Amino acid sequence: MGMSTGDGKIKLGVLGSGSGSNMQAILDAIQDGSLNAEIVLVLSDNPDAYILERAKNAGIAAEVIDCQGYETRFPDVSQREVAEKLKSLGVDLVCLAGFMRLVKQPLLDIFPDRIINIHPSLLPEFPGLMAWKQAVDAGAEESGCTVHYVDAGMDTGPIILQAKVPVLPDDTAESLHARIQEQEHGLYPAAIKQVAGSMS
């Protein structure tokens, strides 16, 4: 892997589909010195995603993933291209930050136990889409967020760190989501730091 630089700085590749607020939180942690890492590439399956703008504004290479015209699938050929690109840049850890496609074997084989994701629930509860809305609809008293290793399932890999967020009686899906996101922004950099420590 790319950790031969000697300064222990871990190289990150970030995949996202949306606004990139978690990528920004990772960047902030790097800039304030609490996370010894460098984001070397940001990739998005959505050419209009704000995460690409955030990357460019921070001087980070940013590219659109060619998903061969598929709306939701992440084709094997696209995954192999992504994996090769990340590998060529010496990426140690792949961070999914609001990435809406399921990662499968081509990427998992090239980065075994080196892909992590953040999910807005206390897994294994509420996997899948809009987990904050699922929690409110289910009348849950507690939710939160989870950083976990990615395997071939939907939000099923081993858990790294979790943060709990109470569901308040008057919570809407939106208000709960906003409070979960606040916790995500502290949790993700902390989890990356923990994983980096176990890799070195």
Domain of 23, CATH number, reads 3.40.50.170
Q: What is the pLDDT of residue 89?
A: 96
In terms of Cβ atoms closer than 10 Å to its own Cβ (0-12, 13-18, 19+), residue 143 is buried
Q: Does any domain span residue 50?
A: yes
Residue whose C-alpha is closest to residue 53's, from 65, 45, 42: 42
Known active-site residue 148? no
Domain assignment present for 52: yes
For the record, the structure tokens of 186 come out as 């502290």
Supply the range of the domain harboring residue 26: 10-118+149-156+184-199
Q: Is the pLDDT confidence value at 159 over 50?
A: yes
54-75 pLDDT, tens digit each: 999 999 999 999 999 999 999 9
Instruction: Tell me the C-alpha distance between 121 and 30, whole Å.
Output: 25
> What whole-number distance in Å separates Cα of residue 74 and Cα of residue 152?
12
Q: Do the beta carbons of residue 31 and residue 3 sit within 8 Å?
A: no
Confidence class of residue 177 from pLDDT cuts 50, 70 and 90? very high
